């Protein structure tokens, strides 16, 4: 038990402590592994000499649950956990999920909705003056006024609704140490207005240097165009080198001030973070409860980088981790991988080496390290920037070293390869070695859609780039004597996706010869550019009006079209085809999505559909058998073709 930070007052006393400096309240179970934010921040504070106690998943209905250690000397740290509590609890259709992977045994109901607000309010009722600092992804992405999908309205900054004093947003290592040192020096929390990577409240702007004045909360909550304009300003101020403070007025309640982001970690700093004395285990109190499912998914994976310059519009990484790449050294990763081989449960397989994007191992261009990322340009979209550094050599070298570690049988890459970055690399060494050593039959990639119109609103490359990747992937498979498939992820109902585009995607899925087991419907989560489009119907960076599929029935049709083979989806698919005038896809031909509906009238069968299909339905039994045989042969040929093309 001494290997873990204390979770009870008894354990605190066993360490000889009379009081903790910080009590860390989290919506996750306590897992002392660097894939969990609670573990990183608490171990980092410990390394600086601070006493930290963990209060995992307190019962928010009882004040006693947050009084485990009494009043901490310096303050409370509050996080909803590794996931936003609302995304954790609800599907995109707002139905309750059945499993919480960050709770013992996957049990649901061990954290409240809007966890940081609930936990913080409970603390404030009990400890009137003790500093409360919010962190984690839930607080980070709600740091200013934001559209809330679950209530379908614009809500305050979480700082106002929670009663907390500050938010440490982003990854938090730099800002949390500055906050801790300032509080330890005796500065009151209301004086901590200067720390990068933080958000605070104030009555006026006298303590803020050269701020950008955002539209007020009263304006953005009633005017969607103003909301989009405000979001665009925030989006262009996410870089630590060029961003300015931003001030958002709440009338008589004062201002919410967002300081510029903290600087990215250097490689040495990142190595130090991952070298802290984690047990890399679930706290023993959960053993009889079935463990923590989330750890099993990442226990034998390596985090090699942070940040992403991919710029997908439906992703919140720009607001959370930022666009500047930060990496761990080879030595740091090899040391962690070597420790894995000593684990009795390790079977010789490293499940992943990556991060938000696996194959990014350096900033997209060198000027980012001194001037930051471009405000009005993306690195890869719509086409790769002429200044983009496309180089997989460091990643290839790292993977080769990991493969040579005694006890390692196979090193997989599962966290996502950016296929347009692979295509842009003229040196195909990485692609060849990826196919030869790091794929287990299937490579999962994320083209997201096939319509260039939808891809434009997603911030993804054109469909032709994905097609080029498939050709190169197929060539690499042939060179290495492999027969492996690229399994694509697709998304339905993204802003800009009309029913016409949904049918186009269904046709592409048909030609691939497989049916996706799961379909990702677009989920409007806080602080993504796509969510802004979803709410306002406006592209915030261009002012362009965007079609948004919001009606639940329309969204259900778009989702059903991708799984048109499921008999339960037939009526929805038929409705979608009627809406788009694509009844040519109802019939018996190899290109048809569904069969005509047969009905009995006076002992005779009649087929609904086009006149051509009606005529086909009156054909002889032999013709039907011939058609079915042709259909089987067509499908068999599609599979053969897809096997040669590296697709399943």
Handedness of CA 466, 471, 475, 480 (dihedral sign): positive
> What DSSP assignment string belongs to 438-489?
S-BSEEEEEEE-S-HHHHHHHT---HHHHHHHHHHHHHHHHHHT---EEEEE
Q: How many CB atoms lie within 10 A of CB 467?
A: 13
Report the relative pairing of strands 166-168 and 132-135 from DSSP bridges.
parallel
Token pair belonging to 588 = 């018996």
| Secondary structure element (H or E) that encloses residue 411, with its range | strand 410-411
| Cβ–Cβ < 8 Å for 40, 173 | yes
Taking Cα atoms as reference points, which of 110, 49, 53, 105 lies closest to residue 81?
A: 110
- Distances from the Cα of 269 to the Cαs of 9, 46, 265, 272, in angstroms? 32, 16, 6, 5
| Cβ–Cβ < 8 Å for 447, 490 | yes
Q: How many CB atoms lie within 10 A of CB 384?
A: 18
Could you give the CA distance from residue 244 to residue 479 in angstroms, rounded to a whole number? 51
What is the distance, to the nearest Å, from the Cα of residue 568 to the centroid of all Cα atoms in its chain?
30
Q: How many CB atoms lie within 10 A of CB 411?
A: 23
| CB neighbour class for 132 (10 Å; exposed up to 12, middle 13-18, buried from 19) | buried
Could you give the CA distance from residue 541 to residue 547 in angstroms, rounded to a whole number? 16
Could you give the CA distance from residue 74 to residue 329 in angstroms, rounded to a whole number? 34
Beta bridge partner(s), residue 538: 545
Taking Cα atoms as reference points, which of 554, 555, 536 lies closest to residue 544?
A: 536
In a 13 Å sphere around the CA of 622, the CA atoms on its Cβ side amount to 0
**385 is known to lie in a ligand binding site:** no
Within 8 A by CB and 6+ apart from 125, the residues are: 63
Strands (E), 477-548: 485-492, 520-521
- Distances from the Cα of 2 to the Cαs of 13, 17, 25, 35, 283, in angstroms? 11, 13, 19, 21, 11
| CB neighbour class for 376 (10 Å; exposed up to 12, middle 13-18, buried from 19) | exposed
Within 8 A by CB and 6+ apart from 186, the residues are: none
| Secondary structure element (H or E) that encloses residue 623, with its range | helix 621-644
Within 8 A by CB and 6+ apart from 559, the residues are: 492, 493, 519, 521
Could you give the CA distance from residue 352 to residue 508 in angstroms, rounded to a whole number? 29
Could you give the CA distance from residue 131 to residue 117 in angstroms, rounded to a whole number? 15
- Distances from the Cα of 615 to the Cαs of 281, 583, 608, 624, in angstroms? 66, 15, 11, 12
**497 is known to lie in a ligand binding site:** no
| Numbered residues of the known binding site for [4Fe-4S] cluster | 308, 312, 315
| Numbered residues of the known binding site | 308, 312, 315
């Amino acid at each position: 038990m001494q290997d873990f930070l204390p979770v009870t007052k008894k354990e605190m006393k066993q360490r000889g402590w009379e009081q903790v400096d910080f009590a860390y309240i989290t919506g996750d179970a306590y897992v002392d592994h660097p894939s969990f934010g609670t573990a990183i921040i608490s171990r980092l504070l410990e390394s600086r000499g601070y006493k930290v106690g963990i209060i995992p998943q307190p019962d928010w209905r009882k004040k006693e649950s947050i009084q485990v250690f009494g009043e901490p000397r310096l303050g409370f740290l509050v996080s909803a956990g590794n996931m936003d509590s609302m995304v954790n609890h609800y599907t995109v259709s707002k139905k309750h999920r059945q499993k919480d992977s960050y709770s013992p045994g996957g049990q649901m109901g061990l954290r409240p909705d809007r966890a940081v607000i609930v936990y913080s309010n409970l603390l404030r009722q009990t400890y009137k003056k003790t500093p409360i600092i919010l962190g984690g992804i839930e607080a980070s992405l709600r740091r200013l006024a934001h559209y809330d999908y679950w209530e379908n309205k614009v809500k305050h900054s979480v700082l106002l609704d929670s009663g907390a004093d500050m938010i440490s947003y982003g990854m938090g290592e730099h800002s949390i140490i500055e906050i801790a040192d300032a509080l330890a020096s005796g500065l009151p929390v209301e004086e901590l207005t200067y720390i990068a990577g933080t958000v605070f409240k104030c009555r006026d702007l006298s303590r803020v240097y050269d701020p950008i004045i955002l539209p007020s909360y009263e304006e953005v909550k009633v005017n969607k165009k103003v909301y989009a304009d405000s979001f665009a300003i925030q989006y262009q101020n996410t870089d630590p080198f060029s961003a300015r403070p931003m001030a958002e007025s709440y009338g008589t309640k004062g201002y919410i001030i967002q300081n510029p982001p903290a600087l990215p970690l250097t490689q040495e700093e990142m190595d130090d973070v991952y070298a802290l004395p984690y047990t890399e285990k679930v706290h023993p109190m959960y053993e009889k409860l079935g463990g923590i499912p989330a750890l099993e998914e990442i226990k034998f994976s390596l985090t090699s980088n942070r940040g992403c310059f991919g710029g997908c519009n439906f992703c919140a990484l720009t607001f959370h981790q930022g666009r500047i790449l930060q990496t761990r050294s080879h030595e740091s990763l090899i040391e962690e991988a070597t420790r894995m081989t000593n684990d009795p449960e390790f079977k010789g397989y490293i499940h992943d080496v990556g991060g938000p994007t696996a194959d990014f191992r350096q900033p997209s261009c060198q000027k980012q390290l001194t001037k930051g990322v471009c405000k009005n340009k993306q690195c890869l979209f719509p086409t790769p920037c002429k200044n983009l550094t496309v180089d997989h050599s460091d990643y290839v070298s790292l993977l080769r070293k990991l493969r040579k570690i005694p006890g390692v049988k196979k090193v997989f890459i599962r966290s996502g390869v950016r296929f347009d970055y692979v295509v842009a690399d003229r040196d195909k060494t990485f692609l060849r070695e990826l196919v030869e050593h790091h794929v287990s039959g299937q490579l999962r990639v994320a083209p997201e859609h096939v319509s260039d119109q939808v891809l434009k609103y997603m911030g993804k490359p054109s469909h032709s780039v994905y097609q080029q990747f498939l050709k190169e992937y197929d060539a690499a498979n042939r060179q290495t004597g492999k027969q492996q498939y690229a399994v694509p992820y697709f998304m339905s109902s993204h802003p800009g996706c009309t029913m016409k585009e949904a049918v186009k995607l269904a046709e592409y899925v048909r030609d691939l010869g497989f049916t996706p087991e799961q379909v990702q419907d677009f989920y409007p989560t806080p602080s993504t550019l796509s969510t802004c489009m979803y709410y306002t119907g406006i592209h915030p960076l261009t002012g362009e009006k965007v079609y948004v599929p919001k009606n639940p029935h329309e969204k259900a049709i778009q989702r059903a079209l991708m799984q048109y083979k499921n008999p339960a989806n037939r009526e929805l698919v038929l409705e979608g085809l009627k809406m788009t005038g694509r009844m040519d896809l109802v019939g018996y031909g190899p290109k048809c999505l569904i069969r005509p509906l047969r009905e009995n009238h006076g002992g005779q069968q009649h087929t609904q559909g086009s006149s051509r299909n009606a005529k086909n339905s009156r054909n002889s039994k032999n013709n039907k058998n011939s058609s079915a045989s042709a259909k089987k042969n067509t499908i068999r040929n599609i599979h053969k073709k897809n096997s040669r093309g590296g697709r399943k």
